[in-house]
Amino acid sequence: MTERPPGFSTLSIHAGAQPDPTTGARATPIYQTTSFVFNDADHAASLFGLQAFGNIYTRIGNPTTAVLEERVAALEGGTAGLATASGHAAQFLAFHTLLQPGDEFVAARKLYGGSINQFNHAFKKFGWNVVWADPDNIESFEKAVTPKTKAIFIESIANPGGGITDIEAIATIARRAGVPLIVDNTLATPYLIRPIDHGADIVVHSLTKFLGGHGNSIGGILVDAGTFDWSRDGRYPTLSEPRPEYHGIRLQETFGNFAFAIAARVLGLRDLGPAISPFNAFLILNGIETLALRVQKHSDNAKAVAEWLSTHPAIAWVNYAGLPGDRYHNLARKYAPKGAGAVFTFGLKGGYDAGVKLVSNVKLFSHLANVGDTRSLVIHPASTTHSQLDDAQKTLAGAGPDVVRLSVGIEDKEDLIADLDQALNA
Ligand SMILES: *Cc1c(COP(=O)(O)O)cnc(C)c1O
């Protein structure tokens, strides 16, 4: 055996898993149980007091889910993960761990439409105030920071626009401001981009997309990079101050470089409850085993489709960072040299009506609100995912009336191009 650390594909298959010690089962079993028997009363007390690690109740943790958490943490290069019922639940628990009522966070305004809604509306009810910044204008992040700022939030590859974010530049601003950088790495996956390598302190995912990869399970995860000192200046009392729920322990002092993941579990997940089901964790683990193969093919197919679209007479523009000449091409070469992902947008010369017509005429592409399925997907954001926004917000979010978003699947690229061709000519 060599001493070399395992590579990405090896980790995708093995990290966190071992043959089941009782049965020898090689695949990770689905521990479809709500609760776990204690060895004795002392064991029970130590689990509840956080003096020992172990299983209590599946809302707080589960052995199938634990394999998923360890695997994604390994792929992202973090210290620990916490899986949740959905990507939005992971974002919710990340912010719940960091913010108090009246606090602010800075977010890139080019985000998944659901995140824009979550930040603008749901989070406001908790007194967590979003301040929007422009990922194409790095200084706008610096300007948006105030003494109340507790975090900066960006997407590595922005949904729906497909733009690549300059993670290192924004990480520098976060470090200067003394706040953690949270990166939603859903569209890139750790196969294309590992945000922690570029200065992220927390990574969040919708596992629903490429990590699960087969369009069959909703899930999310947050990964703790273990890089942030939460006790430095008292800005993160959840992590630095004694916790009345746990006999006055201080989470960072006790758990060190995975205190954030622990806090999100033992305070956030325990009390707010968005746990993933073990069955979904199992399906997503199966998806992750082929992540490298799938995401490479997704990305190669997307590039071929983008190249073909860019020569089509009905198309006004194609934004795909994998195309030379794209405004994000240099950032793609730096951050995502293996490929620029599978999700991108293009504009139809015929505007809103042409967008509606295209999604009505495709046969192989599915018209639906998802990305990251093996199947190719298409949506017209202005009439669907971003329809809640006004026209100015739509355009700022990269979802103007002429915009169509593709999530290119892993079918044969010739079939995908033929389908778009017939739909555009219909
Ligand atoms: C889908 C998605 C989310 C939300 O995830 P859910 O699993 O649907 O809750 C967050 N961010 C991005 C980039 C997404 O694509």
Domains in the chain: ranges and CATH:
8-287 (3.40.640.10), 292-425 (3.90.1150.10)
Q: CA 209 to CA 213: how far, in whole Å?
A: 5
- pLDDT at residue 8, rounded to an integer: 98
Q: In 3-state terms, the chain is what percent helix, strand and coil (to 5)?
A: 40, 15, 40
- pLDDT at residue 384, rounded to an integer: 87
Is any ligand 1 atom within 6 A of the Cβ of residue 342? Answer: no
Give burial (CB, 10 Å; 0-12/13-18/19+) of 234. Answer: exposed
Q: CA 275 to CA 86: how far, in whole Å?
A: 9
Is any ligand 1 atom within 6 A of the Cβ of residue 87? Answer: yes
Distance from Cα 87 to the centre of ligand 1, integer Å: 5
Q: CA 346 to CA 351: how far, in whole Å?
A: 11
Asked whether the bond before 160 is cis by omega within 30 degrees of 0, the reply is: yes
Is any ligand 1 atom within 6 A of the Cβ of residue 86? Answer: yes
* Residue from 209, 218, 379 whose mutation best tests the ligand 1 pocket (most atoms within 8 A of CB): 209
Distance from Cα 191 to the centre of ligand 1, integer Å: 18
Contact (Cβ atoms closer than 8 angstroms) between residue 107 and residue 154: yes
Q: CA 186 to CA 232: how far, in whole Å?
A: 30
Q: CA 246 to CA 12: how far, in whole Å?
A: 35
Q: CA 229 to CA 222: how far, in whole Å?
A: 18
Q: Residue 101 carries which DSSP code?
A: T
Is any ligand 1 atom within 6 A of the Cβ of residue 115? Answer: yes
73-129 pLDDT, tens digit each: 999 999 999 999 999 999 999 999 999 999 999 999 989 889 999 999 999 999 999
Is any ligand 1 atom within 6 A of the Cβ of residue 158? Answer: no
Q: Per residue of the chain (426 residues), give pLDDT as tens.
A: 568 999 999 999 999 999 999 999 999 999 999 999 999 999 999 999 999 999 999 999 999 999 999 999 999 999 999 999 999 999 999 999 999 999 999 999 989 889 999 999 999 999 999 999 999 999 999 999 999 999 999 999 998 778 999 999 999 999 999 999 999 999 999 999 999 999 999 999 999 999 999 999 999 999 999 999 999 999 999 999 999 989 999 999 999 999 999 999 999 999 999 999 999 999 999 999 999 999 999 999 999 999 999 999 999 999 999 999 999 999 999 999 999 999 999 999 999 899 999 999 999 999 998 999 999 999 998 888 878 778 888 887 778 899 999 999 999 999 999 999 999 998
Contact (Cβ atoms closer than 8 angstroms) between residue 116 and residue 141: no
Is any ligand 1 atom within 6 A of the Cβ of residue 220? Answer: yes
Closest ligand 1 atom number to CA of residue 208:
7
- pLDDT at residue 394, rounded to an integer: 82
Is any ligand 1 atom within 6 A of the Cβ of residue 153? Answer: no
Contact (Cβ atoms closer than 8 angstroms) between residue 35 and residue 57: yes
**Dihedral pair phi/psi, residue 242, rounded to 5°:** -60, 135
Helix/strand/coil for 202: strand
* Residue from 88, 91, 192, 221 whose mutation best tests the ligand 1 pocket (most atoms within 8 A of CB): 88
User: What CA dihedral angle connects 120, 122, 127 and 129, to 10 degrees?
Assistant: -20
Distance from Cα 286 to the centre of ligand 1, integer Å: 19
Is any ligand 1 atom within 6 A of the Cβ of residue 345? Answer: no
- pLDDT at residue 128, rounded to an integer: 98
Is any ligand 1 atom within 6 A of the Cβ of residue 371? Answer: yes
Is any ligand 1 atom within 6 A of the Cβ of residue 299? Answer: no
